[in-house]
Amino acid sequence: MDQQIWIAITFIAFLLSFTVVGIYSATQKQNTTNDYLLASRNVNPWLTALSAMATGQSGYLFIGVIGFTYKVGVASIWIPVAWAIGDYIAWWLIFKKLRLVSQQTNSDTVSSFLGQENLRSGKNNGRLITIISALITIAFLGTYASAQLVAASKGLNAIFGWNYQLGVIIGAVIVVIYCFSGGIRASIWTDSVQAILMIGSLLVLCIVGLINCGGFGELWTKLNAIDPTLTNLIPANLPWGFFPYFLGWIVAGFGAVGQPHILVRAMAIDSAENVAFARNIKFVCGQINSATAFGVGLTARALLPDLITSSDPELALPYLSMELLPAVMVGLMLAGLFSAAISTADSQILSCSAALSQDLIPNTANSYRMAKIATLVVTAIVLVIALTGDNNVFALVIFSWSILACGLGPLLVLRVWQKPISVPVAIAMMIIGIIVSIAWNLGLGLSSAIYEVLPGMATGFIVYGIVYFLTDSRELSK
């Protein structure tokens, strides 16, 4: 009991510190929708980088990736490596120009940017694009946010024995506090503090885990003894071989161009010239996190081999923490896990509420009060999904990411490049991309060969390419 008390004290202390940061951010805010949604486009590049890393990796890293590594072994390394390559390419090719063009078009949300007036024709006929993309955002980014609440609740369940429902509700309440205190600025500031905690907590547990395994050599030996396939570098049973598999996950990383909660950080940075600096900081910090999460997953498999049959492998991190660390450090790990999940959930809920209040109900676009009401409504929707849906964090995140990447990504790239595009073609790109993604995964069952983001995004670009070559370019903008 004493151990749980100390864990709780440490955990609550960290949560209070994050809440104080979020509340302090309110002293810098302006009571405008632009400030609530984009922090007046004045975010420091360091904060942008750390926030983007925290919101991108999230509970998916602490729960999903560690659990996946626990089950698969060394071969799981290719997903974070490929993902990092694709993500870097997205920041390098797209995000700087997104910052510039979103300000030129006065777009405060991703959906409004996708439905922006065509810069070549001067016509504003994209209202239907905005509506459909906003609905996609609310439906699937809301599902993504629910996965974060599930991840947070899993940590609380493993350490305190609380049921999932209670953990989900606590997470939702904290998200609302963050959002209400200062909108996206509070989200970014708290994300940045949480990012530092994420890096430190994973690093500590990885090092302690390796020491308890006896070093890399002993870890390898232990994994071999449990199951020789755990030390295979190449994943087993790849239907089309390694290269298509690896390429699919590179494109998955590039799918960041379809994630509103990440895109909004590029739109909010203080200068387009600082995007490259933020990208590099994010990349370095992200790789440290990915490497240590990989190490935690492997050491957990070696030290807690029965977890795969007796419990949930996605709880490897909290169980390993309790096995190896003193109570105060377990509280630190739980705070790191909880922070990773909440830092993403608040960003996603803000993006969904922006889609609701700014894009679906344009009459309330300038109402600061309605922006906050929309946040409450979206949080309630996400809460219901989290309480009633699947509790597999890895599967929920991968599914939601692919739908957003395929539905919004290709169109966003074309908008950033300022290519002429008609409303019917834009809508066709979104809908067909989503259909192909779902069919590839659920219908054809080919995601183990190539992750569905590649065929889904490729289809969106192919639709545009066919129309482009068959149509006068002047017609594309109508």
Instruction: Report pLDDT digits (tens) over 18-73.
Output: 777 777 776 766 666 767 777 778 889 999 999 999 888 776 788 788 999 999 99
Average pLDDT (226-248) is: 93
Average pLDDT (178-187) is: 72
- Asked if 226 and 302 count as a contact pair (C-beta separation under 8 A), the reply is yes
Looking at mean pLDDT, say which of 234-238, 402-406, 417-421 comes out highest.
Answer: 402-406
Instruction: Report pLDDT digits (tens) over 454-468.
Output: 999 999 999 999 998
CA angle 207, 70, 452 (to 5 degrees): 120
Instruction: Report pLDDT digits (tens) over 63-105.
Output: 788 999 999 999 999 999 999 999 999 999 999 999 999 998 8
pLDDT of residue 16: 81
pLDDT of residue 12: 85
Q: Is 376 exposed, middle or buried (0-12, 13-18, 19+ CB in 10 A)?
A: middle
E-assigned strands of 253-339? none
**Looking at residue 447, what DSSP letter applies?**
T
Greater model confidence, 365 or 321: 321
Segments in 137-228 forming alpha helices (H):
142-160, 164-213, 216-226
Residue with tokens 């953990």: 167
pLDDT of residue 120: 41
pLDDT of residue 228: 93
Count other C-beta atoms under 10 Å from residue 472's C-beta: 9
Q: What is the mean pLDDT of the chain?
A: 86
pLDDT of residue 39: 72
Residue with tokens 């957003």: 404
CA atoms of 224 and 238, how far apart (whole Å): 21
DSSP string, 214-268: TSHHHHHHHHHHH-GGGG-SSPS--TT-HHHHHHHHHHHHHGGGG-HHHHHHHHH
CATH homologous superfamily, domain 1-393: Sodium/glucose cotransporter (1.20.1730.10)
pLDDT of residue 474: 54
Instruction: Report pLDDT digits (tens) over 294-305.
Output: 999 999 999 999
Residue 281: pLDDT above 60? yes
**Looking at residue 32, what DSSP letter applies?**
S
Q: What is the pTM of this model?
A: 0.89
Query: How many helices (H) and strands (E) are present in the chain, helices listed first?
Result: 22, 0
Cβ neighbors of 196 (< 8 A, separation 6 or more) are 50
Domain boundaries in the chain? Answer: 1-393
CA atoms of 144 and 397, how far apart (whole Å): 6
Using alpha carbons, select from 248, 243, 239, 252 the residue that is nearest to residue 399: 252
Q: What are phi and psi of 269, to 5 degrees?
A: -65, 155
pLDDT of residue 117: 57
- Asked if 165 and 387 count as a contact pair (C-beta separation under 8 A), the reply is yes
pLDDT of residue 125: 62
Residue 337: pLDDT above 90? no
pLDDT of residue 366: 66
pLDDT of residue 205: 93
Average pLDDT (173-177) is: 81
Residue with tokens 């940017």: 113
Using alpha carbons, select from 113, 63, 118, 42 the residue that is nearest to residue 398: 63
CA atoms of 220 and 215, how far apart (whole Å): 9
Looking at mean pLDDT, say which of 146-160, 220-234, 380-394 comes out highest.
Answer: 220-234
Greater model confidence, 38 or 343: 38
In the structure, what pLDDT confidence band is assigned to residue 390 with cuts at 50, 70 and 90? low
Residue 26, amino acid: A
Instruction: Report pLDDT digits (tens) over 239-251.
Output: 999 999 999 999 9
- Asked if 333 and 323 count as a contact pair (C-beta separation under 8 A), the reply is no
Average pLDDT (404-414) is: 96
Residue 477: pLDDT above 80? no
Q: For residues 287-315, b (16+ Cβ closer than 10 Å) or e, as one string?
A: ebbbbbbbbbbbbbbbbbbebbeeebbbb
pLDDT of residue 295: 96
Greater model confidence, 310 or 432: 432
Interhelix angle 142-160/368-388, rounded to 10 degrees, is 60
Residue 123: pLDDT above 70? no
